[in-house]
């Protein structure tokens, strides 16, 4: 037979139950026995780190995969200013044509060979820098700084050649004056 809950609640008397002083400790011990805490093991992490280090060293020192610096006889793949825009191509072509013209118009004699060698050494260094800047353009991408450096390099080479040509003409005129005086 169903009992009325209201009557049960009216008749309810709260029992006064006291917990022992070590109740919390006993509860924690029982909890620990039921669900023991597993200690975290990092052995798998050490194994993974070791494998990564070994793979890295293997790739670094494996002869077939090592990319060495380009050797002197290898031709570096270069990006020219002409590949950036038509205007840059015109500028590069102008300077390269002017440089080649100035080189072609030089007269090499035993008297001016030392002077020519000195200037060609400077021009050679500028040419090496130009190739390095082209590589930088290829790897780092197009920046105003690199483009300006490339154009400045071309200008410096042309200025050196013009200065060389002026010195050669001065040297030639001095030699002509000396010949006229001795005759």
Q: Which of 82, 98, 78 shows the shortest CA–CA distance to 90?
A: 82
pTM for the full predicted model: 0.52
- The answer to the question of residue 59 being in a domain is no
The dihedral over CA atoms of 135, 137, 139, 144, expressed in degrees to the nearest 10, equals 150
Is the separation of the CB atoms in 89 and 81 below 8 Å? yes
Does residue 53 belong to any structural domain of this protein?
A: no
**43 lies in some domain:** no
Cα–Cα distance list, 162 to 70, 149, 151, 169 (Å) = 33, 20, 17, 11
Full domain range(s) for residue 109? 81-182
Any domain includes 164: yes
| Residue 1: how many other CB atoms lie within 10 Å | 2
Residue 69 lies in a domain: no
In a domain, 126, yes or no: yes
**From 1-5, 53-57, 153-157, 166-170, the region with the lowest mean pLDDT:** 1-5
Could you tell me if residue 39 is inside a domain?
no
Residue 108 lies in a domain: yes
Q: Is the pLDDT of residue 149 over 60?
A: yes
Which of these, 122, 119, 124, lies nearest to 171 by C-alpha position?
119
Residue with more model confidence, 138 or 181: 138
* Residue 141 predicted with pLDDT over 60: yes
Number of folded domains that form the chain:
1
Q: CA-to-CA distance for 152 and 96, rounded, in angstroms? A: 12
Q: What is the pLDDT of residue 14?
A: 74
């Amino acid at each position: 037979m169903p009992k009325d809950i209201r009557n049960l609640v009216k008749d309810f008397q709260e029992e006064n139950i006291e917990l022992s002083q070590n109740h919390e400790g006993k509860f924690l011990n029982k909890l620990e026995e039921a669900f023991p805490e597993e200690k975290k093991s990092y052995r798998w992490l050490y194994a993974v780190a070791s494998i990564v280090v070994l793979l890295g060293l293997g790739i670094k020192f494996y002869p077939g995969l090592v990319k060495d610096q380009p050797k002197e006889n290898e031709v570096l793949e270069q990006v020219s200013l002409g590949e950036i825009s038509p205007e840059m191509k015109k500028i590069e072509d102008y300077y390269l044509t002017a440089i080649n013209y100035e080189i072609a118009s030089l007269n090499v004699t035993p008297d001016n060979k030392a002077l020519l060698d000195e200037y060609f050494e400077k021009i050679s260094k500028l040419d090496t820098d130009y190739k390095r800047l082209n590589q930088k353009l290829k790897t780092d991408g197009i920046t105003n700084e690199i483009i300006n450096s490339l154009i400045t390099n071309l200008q410096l080479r042309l200025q050196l050649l013009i200065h060389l040509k002026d010195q050669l003409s001065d040297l030639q005129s001095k030699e002509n004056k000396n010949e006229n005086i001795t005759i």
